[in-house]
Amino acid sequence: MITAVRTPESLAAAVGHAAAGGRLMAGGTVVMAQVNSGSLGYTEIVSLRRAGLGGITLDGPLARVGATTTLTEVEQSPDLAFLRGAMRGLASPTIRNQATVGGNLFVPQPYGDLAVCLLALDATVEVTGPDGSREVPVGVVLANGVAPGEVVTAVRLAVPAPGTWFHHKAMRRRLNSAAIVAVAAVVDTAGGVVTSARIALGGVAPRPVRAVSAESVLIGRPLESEVLERAGRAARADISPSDDSYASAWYRARVLPVHLRRAFLRQP
Ligand SMILES: Cc1cc2nc3c(=O)[nH]c(=O)nc-3n(C[C@H](O)[C@H](O)[C@H](O)COP(=O)(O)OP(=O)(O)OC[C@H]3O[C@@H](n4cnc5c(N)ncnc54)[C@H](O)[C@@H]3O)c2cc1C
């Protein structure tokens, strides 16, 4: 049973309440469902709504996105226009108005669509806790979470150069559907062949994963159908999918090459 809802007006106060055992809540799209079902496992909620952690700033190609920035704000930001397609495939406008960037890092797969993008972007996560602040690669946060009492304050990323960002999410319906397979990638080419590739996958493992086997196939080769087909098959070595109400593990592995190819050929 919830006995207290704190709404701290500073980061320091939020950290204090979290360190004292409160459960952080940002948009509440996941936490409130846990409250309603009685599965939260905490008696105190610490809302980050007024902690001053929102907003998007751009410094050259480097963007800093506050943890409580909503996904609608990301979607509508001219500075993050490359993420617009990914945001429009995430949940629904109603959910995106509440859901936050920080919260997306902690939702279980096959959710975490923005987290998949942030992994492909090699984003850095800013975290503050009772012992101070630290910066952590997003992959580490996705693998280990943060310590009790720590609050994610922002993510930082480099906006990809035009033409180097790729994204595709396969889902059952247009609204409120988690990923069957999600692909996000930053790929550089020169002279018609791939010179660097960072591919992240969602929906196919307990957390967003890098498709390092697919990346190796792409390096030194053109982004053409036959190469992409091979890369997609290679990516099966990087996944450990599960069955859920959206798709079976078998189906996810089966269709992965199709969706990886669609991501790079920019096919719907
Ligand atoms: C109908 C429906 C459809 C959905 N569809 C999708 C979808 O397609 N794709 C998708 O990715 N997600 C989806 N979601 C899940 C969810 O809405 C989003 O992932 C959202 O980004 C979660 O953010 P939030 O702010 O609401 O998180 P909250 O519910 O507030 O928190 C989620 C978790 O993150 C922790 N947390 C939140 N902020 C911080 C912080 N700053 N520091 C440390 N910990 C923090 C909380 O303690 C909690 O454990 C869906 C949810 C619903 C209800």
Average pLDDT over residues 107-128: 98
* Residue 194, pLDDT above cutoff 90: yes
Q: DSSP code of 237?
A: G
Average pLDDT over residues 49-57: 98
Calculate ∠ Cα 257-88-11, nearest 5°.
Answer: 110
Identify whether residues 235 and 250 lie together within a single domain.
yes
**Among the three residues 158, 180, 200, which one is the final residue of a domain in this structure?**
158
Q: Which domain holds residue 178?
A: 165-265
Identify whether residues 121 and 203 lie together within a single domain.
no
| 132 Cα–ligand 1 center, Å | 25
* Residue 244, pLDDT above cutoff 90: yes
Q: DSSP code of 51?
A: S
Identify whether residues 112 and 175 lie together within a single domain.
no
Identify whether residues 43 and 68 lie together within a single domain.
no
**CA–CA separation, 94 vs 6, rounded Å?**
24
| Residue type, position 102, single letter | G
Identify whether residues 172 and 254 lie together within a single domain.
yes
Domain with 134 in it: what CATH number?
3.30.465.10
User: Ligand 1: which of 40, 48, 75, 104 to mutate, most ligand atoms within 8 Å of CB?
Assistant: 104
Contact 22, 151 (CB under 8 A): no
Identify whether residues 125 and 198 lie together within a single domain.
no
pLDDT of residue 183: 98
Average pLDDT over residues 128-136: 98
pLDDT digits 0-9 by tens, 54-95: 999 999 999 999 999 999 999 999 999 999 999 999 999 999
Our count of domains for the chain comes to: 3
| Residue type, position 145, single letter | G
Identify whether residues 147 and 233 lie together within a single domain.
no
User: Ligand 1: which of 2, 24, 128, 134 to mutate, most ligand atoms within 8 Å of CB?
Assistant: 24
Q: Is 104 in the pocket of ligand 1 (CB under 6 A)?
A: yes
Q: Is 30 in the pocket of ligand 1 (CB under 6 A)?
A: yes
Domain with 254 in it: what CATH number?
3.30.390.50
Identify whether residues 78 and 149 lie together within a single domain.
yes
Antiparallel, parallel or unpaired: β 4-6 and 44-47 = parallel
**Among the three residues 131, 158, 185, which one is the final residue of a domain in this structure?**
158
Q: Which residue's alpha carbon is at the smallest distance from atom 45 of ligand 1?
A: 103
Contact 116, 182 (CB under 8 A): yes
Reported confidence tier of residue 1, pLDDT bands at 50, 70, 90: confident
Q: Is 113 in the pocket of ligand 1 (CB under 6 A)?
A: yes
SS3 category, 197: strand
SS3 category, 164: coil
**Among the three residues 97, 129, 158, which one is the final residue of a domain in this structure?**
158
Q: Which two tokens stand for residue 174?
A: 């247009």
Atom number in ligand 1 closest to CA 67: 41
Average pLDDT over residues 194-204: 98
Residue percentage of the chain with pLDDT more than 90:
99
Contact 50, 7 (CB under 8 A): yes
Identify whether residues 39 and 74 lie together within a single domain.
no
Atom number in ligand 1 closest to CA 106: 34
pLDDT of residue 203: 98
Identify whether residues 133 and 65 lie together within a single domain.
yes
Please state whether the predicted TM-score (pTM) of the whole model is above 0.95.
Answer: yes
